[in-house]
């Protein structure tokens, strides 16, 4: 079974602090994604990656950076966290060879105070 894990599952951060959200996948998928989910907005794409060393901007990249050091790992970095970044963050992996389906991790609930 495809597996995407995220850490931490819950995080409380202070305004102006640095936050790193980590994602690991064992699907051997080329593509990985970071979304945030807010009531009334659905799932919005922040950054994505086509493979190790690549990162692409999604629809709402401002205030976020991403890093893909390996096929399995994809991180989302908030250099200067703000209260507007309080949200639930989902990581996903996918590949056209897997019928384009995206597999989601369990999510990280981030609160910025």
Residue 39, classed as helix, strand or coil, is: coil
| Tokens linked to 96 | 């056209």
Site string for another protein, 85-104 (x = CB under 8 A): -----x---x-x--xxxx-x
Minimal distance, residue 18 CB to another protein, in Å: 25
Binders of another protein among residues 26 to 65 (CB under 8 A) are 31, 33, 40-45, 48, 50, 58
Please tell me what DSSP assigns to residue 85.
G
Q: Which is nearer to another protein, 66 or 94 (CB)?
A: 94
> Of 81 and 105, which has the nearer Cβ to another protein?
105
CA distance readout (Å), 53 to 41, 56, 67, 74, 76: 30, 10, 7, 10, 14
CA 16/CA 41 separation, integer angstroms:
25
Q: Which residues bind another protein (CB under 8 A)?
A: 31, 33, 40-45, 48, 50, 58, 90, 94, 96, 99-102, 104-107
């Amino acid at each position: 079974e495809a597996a995407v894990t995220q850490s931490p599952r819950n995080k409380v951060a202070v305004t102006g602090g640095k936050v790193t959200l980590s994602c690991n996948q064992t699907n051997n998928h080329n593509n990985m994604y970071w979304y945030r989910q807010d009531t009334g907005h659905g799932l919005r794409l922040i950054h994505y990656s086509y493979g190790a060393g690549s990162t692409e901007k999604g629809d709402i990249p401002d205030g976020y950076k991403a890093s893909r050091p390996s096929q399995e790992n994809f991180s989302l970095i908030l250099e200067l966290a703000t209260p507007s970044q309080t949200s639930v963050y989902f990581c996903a992996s996918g590949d056209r060879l897997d019928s384009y389906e995206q597999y989601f991790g369990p999510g990280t609930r981030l609160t910025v105070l």
